[in-house]
Amino acid sequence: MAKTILNGLLATATAVGLSFPSIASAQSLDEVMEARGLTQQDLLAAAKTYTPTGGRDEFIVFSSGGQSGQIMVYGVPSMRILKYVSVFTPEPWQGYGFDEESKAVLEQGRIDGKLLNWGDTHHPAISETDGDLDGEWLFINDKSAPRIGLVSLHDFETQQIVVNPIMQSEHGGAFVTPNTDYIIEATQYPAPLGRGFAPLSEFNEKYRGAVTYWKFDREAGRIDQSKSFSLELPPYSQDLSDAGKLVSDGWSFTNSFCAERYVGGIESGRPPFEAGCSQNDTDYLHVINWEKAVGVYEAGKVEMINDHPVIMMDTAIEEGLVYLIAEPKSPHGVDVSPDGEYIVVGGKLDTHASVYSFSKIMAAVEAGNFSGTDPYGIPIISMEDALHVQVALGLGPLHNQFDSKECVIYTSLYVDSQVAKWDYCEGKLLDKISIHYNIGHLVAMEGESVHPAGKYLISLNKLAIDRFNPVGPLHPQNHQLIDISGDKMELLYDMPVPLGEPHYAAAIAAEKLKPLVRYRYGTNSRTGGKHEGAVRPGQERIERDGDTVTVYMTAIRSHFTPEIVEVNEGDTVRFVVTNSERAEDETHGFSISTFDVNLSLEPGKTATAEIVADRPGVYSYYCTEFCSALHLEMTGYLVVKPEGYVEEATVGEEGTLWTEADYKKQVETNVQTQGVIDSVVVYITSRNFQDFPEVVALVEDATDQLTFAEDAKAKSEAAATESDWQNATLWAGQWWQYQVKAADIGLRAKNFLDEEGAVVTAE
């Protein structure tokens, strides 16, 4: 019966002619459309979004995951979610917070001594070069604790978390300057800077807002806290921000709500925050000269708060760093046009979008033309002096995104549940489309860069209500894809969001991303550097240092080395595991039953699972990623010996005994199997497989497996020489296992060639 797989291989290898009757689908397109109630418009939308197997999306969206603390990555136009990247929340499937390397990243996010297990991600920003998205790095903020996370777009892993030293709460981050020199982070709810205490009765005097400019060191690939600084701001609720670009480069814009400085207290008969914070007709747009502020900071004109340099308001006013402009009622988004000249603000509780002119603002600043100052002495530029145009769009205008078409902008209307398309140069409404329902942010392809890509717009809707099959009281959100290539917006697709509430998203042309296929051998993915505990196959070892046992391990299809680890009760055990695969997608996991660890080991990665063996017993460890047909057999035992246990030098009885006949039978199978593999190799190499990089990679991998097979074969033959039939048989079995892996890969390569229409180049 061991020959059956051989027969299978033979069957497959010779099955070029085999095919089942190719009956056309029983249902015609018209029948399907009628059965499913599709209109012609639906079919067109389907054709614009459906992506057949192996197809690629044109754009990749990075969406915040809200209270999940993660980032959701999906493709456009297919609207298929490709990955969740964990940033602030532990995620076992990525090993995040479960291996020692990523725990070190989460430790960076400790705030006032507290280790946090989640975040409330809001606004992702892709790194920019000259105002264009460059696809290297991604920054995202946490509203639940004032922090910024940094994700490498090479491996889609979080590599750094920085904690804001002075804020208690933030919302207006992360936004990058056009060359990613700085990442902007603005407070949300006012509090004493430095997270100290002050009673609410001293709100006006002691509570403050702020904006932090985090320095990004691109060469190091890290935010440099030692070169970052902040500006003190009044106790308004600062909100979203945007960096100037081109003509307005060097400036940044931060809006606000609750310039009323209202402090609620509904429990004591006061109207709630929502009433007091929305009573006035206007709030303030903060206009900040960050480039000049860098000079002021570098000149040392700062106060240190929690060891962090802060330019205080008086200094900022004196140095001409900050100005205010009235903006309509509790605005939400502020967005700078691709050419940098216009700053667009939606008045959340006002039906208008207001377009400010940067040159008008500069003229007012230069002329010292101010209508007065706010209670803290900041000069106010009158709205009339700064305004380019104001357009009535509808109810609840929130955010704006720019089209590739000149002067065309899209604005979300929360209360109206619509998107407005309008001309911000002429101040003219062009089109509206209804969404489902209550849109927050929206995102156009590269829609905040200096070169928006147009084509698609996504409406990030807060409510889905009746759009999808019900899944309990907690509904998904709804991301709706809209075709903006024509004059009229067209709704293409509803995508439910299964996890967390996204706020903002950033979309980039897929071709700009250059993710790694595999890590350099032995990489610590959280530092990007070589892992000091990485070992090559053959170098595995177990080392004891006092009560700490370190296991230097490798993982490959489908076994760990070592497979048996014996320690004493109370030992600290560190498994430093390196995935020694080089094949794409050949990830292994590592878990120890009933211990709270899991590693995700992509090819080349090294990661560490550390446990305290506090309870005697035997614990199986196993691979948590289905890696080959022998995946379930990829296991081992951690044996924790009880205190005082005296080992007897006994060897266990073998469960099964194999004989010379077993050995011979296995070898016969292997020889025949090799013949079949050779025929697959002939099939592949007689075609133009080298034109297909995917197949070249598979062939490399199969070659690796056959090399391993040779090694097992040698061990088998050596044992046979000594009539050790037990080991001879088993090593022959292992030799065959490597052959099966080679066959698996070979068949995938063969199928790929068949599907891609490879041609015969040799006979």
Q: Is the peptide bond before 248 cis (omega within 30 degrees of 0)?
A: no
Q: Which of 116, 444, 482, 508 binds a second copy (CB under 8 A)?
A: 116
Q: Closest Cα partner for 345 from 383, 301, 290?
A: 383
C-alpha dist (Å) from residue 542 to 523, 549, 610: 20, 7, 14
Among 276, 427, 454, 528, contact with a second copy (rule: CB under 8 A): 276
* The one among 14, 204, 703, 761 contacting a second copy by CB under 8 A: 204
* Whole-angstrom distance, CA of residue 595 vs CA of residue 620: 10
For a second copy, which is the closer residue by CB, 703 or 751? Answer: 751
Rounded CA-CA distance 161/173 in Å is 14
DSSP codes joined into one string, 189-253: S-B-TTS----GGGHHHH-BEEEEEEEEETTTTEEEEEEEEEEEE-SSEEEEEEE--GGGTTEEE
Q: What is the dihedral of CA 313, 314, 317, 321, to 10 degrees?
A: -50
Contact with a second copy (CB under 8 A) among 225, 306, 434, 548: 434
Choice between 318 and 700, CB closer to a second copy: 700
Choose among 157, 206, 25: nearest CA to 601: 157
- From 473, 546, 644, 757, residue interacting with a second copy (rule: CB under 8 A): 473
CB of 269 to a second copy, least distance (A): 8
Binding mask 447-466 for a second copy (x = CB under 8 A): ---------------xxxxx
Rule CB under 8 A: is residue 120 a binding residue for a second copy?
yes
Cβ-based nearer residue to a second copy, 312 or 499 = 499
Q: Which stretch binds a second copy (CB under 8 A): 203-211, 244-252, 401-409, 677-685?
A: 203-211
182-201 binders of a second copy (CB under 8 A): 188-189, 191-192, 195-201
Binding to a second copy by CB under 8 A, coded x per residue (else -) over 287-326, reads ----------------------------------------
501 binds a second copy (CB under 8 A): yes
Task: Report 139-158 residues binding a second copy (CB under 8 A).
Answer: 143-146, 154-157
Q: How many angstroms from the chain centroid is the CA of residue 51?
A: 22
Q: How far apart are CA 83 and CA 95, in angstroms?
A: 14
CB 736, min distance to a second copy, A: 8
CA distance linking residue 120 with residue 197, whole number of Å? 24
Least Cβ distance, residue 603 to a second copy (angstroms): 6
Size of the site for a second copy (CB under 8 A): 268
**How far apart (Å, rounded) are the C-alpha atoms in residues 505 and 697?**
34
Q: CB-wise, 335 or 581, nearer to a second copy?
A: 581
From residue 389 to residue 428, the character string flagging contacts with a second copy as x (rule: CB under 8 A) and all else as - is ---x-xxx-----------------xxxx-----------
Should residue 352 be labelled a site residue for a second copy when binding is judged by CB under 8 A? yes
Which ranges in 483-535 belong to alpha helices (H)?
none
Instruction: Compute the distance between CA of residue 368 and CA of residue 359 in angstroms, rounded to an integer.
Output: 14
Candidate residues 258, 316, 442, 607; the one interacting with a second copy per rule CB under 8 A:
258
What angle do helix axes 40-49 and 29-36 make, rounded to 10 degrees? Answer: 110
Window 94 to 113, contacts with a second copy (CB under 8 A): 94, 97-98, 111-113
In the bound state with a second copy, the residue whose beta carbon lies nearer, of 73 and 183, is 73
Q: Compare residues 366 and 647 and give the one whose CB is closer to a second copy.
A: 647
- In terms of phi and psi (left: phi > 0; alpha: psi -120 to 50; beta: otherwise), the region of 149 is beta
Residues facing residue 56 across a β-bridge: none
**Of 652-681, which residues contact a second copy (CB under 8 A)?**
652-656, 658, 662, 666
Q: Sketch the per residue contact string, 575 through 614, with a second copy: x for CB under 8 A, - otherwise.
A: ---------xx-x-x-x-xxxx-x-x-xxxx---------
Given the complex with a second copy, which of 431 and 610 has the nearer CB atom?
431
Q: Which stretch binds a second copy (CB under 8 A): 176-184, 292-300, 328-336, 444-452?
A: 328-336
Residue 646 binding a second copy, by CB under 8 A: no
Give the residue, chosen from 225, 250, 260, 664, that forms a contact with a second copy under the rule CB under 8 A.
Answer: 260
Interface with a second copy, residue 722, by CB under 8 A: no
Among 640, 677, 680, 709, binds a second copy (CB under 8 A): 640
Burial status of residue 362 (CB atoms within 10 A of its CB: 0-12, 13-18, 19 or more): middle
Q: Residue with structure tokens 């004032």?
A: 146
Give the integer Cα–Cα distance in Å for 193 and 112.
14
Q: Does 42 participate in binding a second copy (rule CB under 8 A)?
A: yes
Burial code (b: 16+ CB inside 10 Å, e: under 16) for 520-536 equals: ebbbbbbebeebebbbe
Q: Is the dihedral of CA 641, 563, 4, 728 positive or negative?
A: negative
Amino acid at 201: S
